[in-house]
Chains A and B, each alone.
Chain A
Amino acid sequence: MKALILVGGFGTRLRPLTLSVPKPLVEFANKPMILHQIEALKAVGVTEVILAINYQPEVVLNFLKEFEAKLGITISCSQEKEPLGTAGPLALARDKLIDGSGEPFFVLNSDVICEYPFKEMFEFHKGHGGEASIMVTKVDEPSKYGVVVMEETTGKVDKFVEKPKLFVGNKINAGIYLLNPSVLNRIELKPTSIEKEIFPKIAAEEKLYAMVLPGFWMDIGQPRDYIEGLRLYLDALRKKSSTKLATGPHIVGNVLVHESAKIGEGCLIGPDVAIGPGCVVEAGVRLSRCTVMRGVRIKQHTCISSSIIGWHSTVGQWARVENMTILGEDVHVCDEIYSNGGVILPHKEIKSSILKPEIVM
């Protein structure tokens, strides 16, 4: 079976992190974002993954080479010369997706993190016998998104309503599809929106079905949602009693610590923290709701919350970093500095406090 992951372009919403690393390779819970999806696809029997990618495909493919061998899965790229929207890339990858077997193929939005219930989705798809299945997720504020209006019992999709003013439903497109090869006949090689042009036609023919996603869902394409997504992900790990979560007197709530990271005395780590490989967290540090990327050093007595600390950065002693502070790669925050929502581009030194959210170039 095959899968197409819509990676897209420059990942500008995740800047400054994506100024250093292409978005699919930015780590989430200590693993590159795209690897979460590829591993889940492999687990359900996908043998080939195609990445629809515009920016730095060589860098991404190069990185994934070692996983091709390790996981026993083929990974290739389909590169757009001009933006093709959310459906066009499928037409571009047509020859790679159709192998004559008639098997449906998965399509994933690369920013989506969830429990990837691909096996259940496959059963659901075979069960209803329609042309396409789409995963939907329940949200509290549906009018911010495109709502999928469907029959509750069968999941048959009635229509899509973009940002509805009145309540029409609370399920939105979760960005995961399972499509029969015949869907490709509906898509021309030009900029096309799958939600606005393709799915409504399939729905009109009563061949589109929606499955409600069990478990958590998040689009982690921007920092605020990335941090919330980590909370949901770690919570799901806890529910499965995962041994990956850290334990100890200095751990509070759900925390992931890479085995090569060092944590000093008198620290309090958590909840909802991920600490990457080679990190050094010195004595007396408080971390909560944050991600610390590879090679970061956090010096003594510092307090960090609701932030992302980019690769190889350092945070000085007695610093306080909070409220969506995002440090890019190789950023050095001096001792005793306060950062309230500072967004710092790579290779900078922060020598004075940032009192209000600000971008430092």
Chain B
Amino acid sequence: MEISEQKVVAVIMVGGPTKGTRFRPLSFNTPKPLFPLAGQPMVHHPISACKRISNLAQIFLIGFFEEREFTLYVSSISNELKIPVRYLKEDKPRGSAGGLYYFRNIIMEDNPSHIFLLNCDVCCSFPLTNMLEAHKRYGGMGTVSAETANQFGELVADPITKELLHYTEKPETFVSDLINCGLYIFTPDIFTAIQEVSTHREDQANLRHLSTFEALQSPTRAFPLDFVRLDQDILSPFAGKKQLYTYETMDFWEQIKTPGMSLKCSGLYLSQFRFTSPDLLAGGDGTRSALIVGDVYVHPSAKVHPTAKIGPNVSISANVRVGAGARLINCIVLDDVEVQENAVVINSIVGWKSSIGKWSRVQADGDYNAKLGITILGEAVMVEDEVVVINSIVLPNKTLNLSVQDEIIL
């Protein structure tokens, strides 16, 4: 069989509704994977990156959300990119590897030689083609992308062969400075490996019936037999056996766990557009259209008054109206928002259908990691004229007629 004929598929793990409470209040109305970053749903970024891989046959989204949440998106993106994108709903929690195994027949439909596995909430440059070449060179069962970081790394790799020597989940002491970037490439052998783990666990469970003391000691007693986690159950045991390798990247990498991080990542993607798709970015000099500073995305249906000044790092979604003299800096403005005259929005996310009153000020310090470092307004929040909102989170459907600071408004 010619190597150039071999197909590949991509699987993107999108999670589900009851997990991800960290993305509240934005997740009340929209599944996190569909939250827009730089004008496109979060999941769109890994999907577009997958599209760049040659011989890509299909893209699968696996998660717990109801199918109807993804129906529209999946059909429109399939049309747009001319590649089948399917959403597969897990019926019960099976772990990241267990879910992959559960859908193995569908995933293997086109007999792919390689399977990409990506986490939806990863923000990076997705160097998938280079990663695939590296994986083919290593010749192992799987390759995990890694990056050097300040935090406690989980991966130990051989500096020359790049083999994954050791993997530990959430270490509390220093193990290495390489972190797992949440992008993987596997050959179909991965399914055998996952099945082995299930079988092994079943055998262990049978053995343990002999000693209840041991059963109490077992760390896996809480998990059913078919619950297989990728990290603890596959990467850890298979490390050091010449089966798993690492691919190191140097580019930007972030995890989008909180609304604050989504603002940071939206900015990272916007700055990437300047190189990959500059026509997506807005331009304007304040004469016929608003003055644009830095990287800014404005949806074609949004209306921005020419005397407004927008940017840097601003993303404006559909049907937004920005009034005369408004100033927007480092923010995401979601669909149908109205920003009235002379309002100022800095380091904030303004939820769908909200309204920002005249001369009002919505801002935050801009610390992406602090709980109240980015001001978040949920859906349909009304900030009345001249009100100031600083470092706060406001849940949907509230009206603010008094200024607030450092507060969560339920």
Contact = CB atoms under 8 A, between A and B. Distances in A.
Interface of A: 9-10, 12, 15-16, 19, 343, 345, 347-348, 359, 361
Interface string B5-38: 0000000000000100100110010000000000
B410 interface: yes
Contacts of B208: none
Interface stretch (B234-242, B261-269, B329-337, B391-399): B391-399
Contact of A12 (B18, B28, B397): B397
Contact of A359 (B21, B396, B398, B408): B408
A361 B26 CA distance: 11
Given A343-B410, A359-B408, A12 B398 contact: yes
Given A359-B408, A361-B25, A15 B18 contact: no
Q: What size tier do the contact residues of chain B reach?
A: 10 to 19
B406 to A, nearest CB: 12
A150 to B, nearest CB: 30
B410 A15 contact: yes
A361 B24 contact: yes
20 contacts: A9-B397, A10-B396, A10-B397, A12-B395, A12-B398, A12-B410, A15-B410, A16-B410, A19-B28, A343-B410, A345-B24, A347-B18, A347-B21, A348-B21, A359-B408, A359-B410, A361-B21, A361-B25, A361-B393, A361-B408
A173 B410 CA distance: 26
A30 to B, nearest CB: 24
Nearest to B23: A361
Nearest to A348: B21
Interface of B: 18, 21, 24-25, 28, 393, 395-398, 408, 410
A343 B408 CA distance: 11
A19 B27 CA distance: 13
Q: Is the interface of B mostly helix, strand, loop or mixed?
A: loop
Contacts of A16: 410
Contacts of B28: 19
A-B complex: 3 closest residue pairs judged by Cβ atoms:
A15-B410, A359-B408, A10-B397
Contacts of B396: 10
A361 B25 CA distance: 8
Contacts of A15: 395, 410
Q: Is the interface of A mostly helix, strand, loop or mixed?
A: loop
Given A15-B395, A361-B408, 12 more contacts: A10-B396, A12-B398, A15-B410, A19-B28, A343-B410, A345-B21, A345-B24, A348-B21, A359-B410, A361-B21, A361-B24, A361-B393
Nearest to B396: A10
A12 B408 CA distance: 13
A345 B378 CA distance: 15
A361 B18 CA distance: 12
Nearest to B18: A347
Contacts of A9: 397
A152 to B, nearest CB: 36
A12 B410 CA distance: 6
A42 to B, nearest CB: 31
A9 B399 CA distance: 12
Contacts of B395: 12, 15
Nearest to B22: A361
A359 B406 CA distance: 12
Contacts of A10: 396-397
Nearest to A10: B397
Nearest to A330: B18
A10 B380 CA distance: 11
Nearest to A11: B397
B240 to A, nearest CB: 33
Contacts of B18: 347
A12 B395 CA distance: 9
A12 B399 CA distance: 10
B28, B395, B398 — which one has the most chain A CB atoms within 10 A of its CB?
Answer: B395
Nearest to B19: A347
A200 B378 CA distance: 37
Contacts of B410: 12, 15-16, 343, 359
A224 B180 CA distance: 47
Contacts of A19: 28
A226 to B, nearest CB: 14
Contacts of B21: 345, 347-348, 361
Nearest to A343: B410
A268 B394 CA distance: 39
A267 to B, nearest CB: 29
B351 to A, nearest CB: 14
B357 to A, nearest CB: 16
Contacts of A12: 395, 397-398, 410
A348 B18 CA distance: 9
Contacts of B398: 12
A12 B398 CA distance: 7
B378 to A, nearest CB: 10
Contacts of A347: 18, 21
A102 to B, nearest CB: 39
Contacts of B393: 361
B383 to A, nearest CB: 15
Nearest to B17: A347
Nearest to A9: B397
A357 to B, nearest CB: 11
Nearest to A83: B399
A144 to B, nearest CB: 16
Nearest to B407: A359
Nearest to B25: A361
B362 to A, nearest CB: 19
A186 B396 CA distance: 34
B180 to A, nearest CB: 24
